[in-house]
Amino acid sequence: MHLNQEAYKTFQRNCLEASKKYGRSVQTQKMMDVLKMMWQYNRYTVSECSF
């Protein structure tokens, strides 16, 4: 699997910011599941980060 490290970092940061904004904690496993899905579809949008 080819991972875009910059996209990963940006997506992870956006997810963490979104979780703080909506007052939700991000669980590591769910985060990884979402990231894997994002990588599969090459989508790194914060709108897809709904925990």
Predicted local confidence at residue 1, as pLDDT: 40
Exposure b/e, 7-43, CB count within 10 A at least 16 = b: eeeebbebbeebbeeeeeebeeeebeebbeebbeeee
pLDDT in tens, 1-51: 445 777 778 777 877 777 777 655 555 667 667 777 666 555 555 455 554
Residue 40 Cα distances to 17, 19, 20, 21, 30, angstroms: 23, 22, 26, 26, 15
- Which tokens in the block code for residue 23? 């007052």
Radius of gyration from C-alpha coordinates of the chain = 10
Q: By three-state DSSP, how is residue 3 classified?
A: coil
Listed by start position, the domains of the chain span 5-39
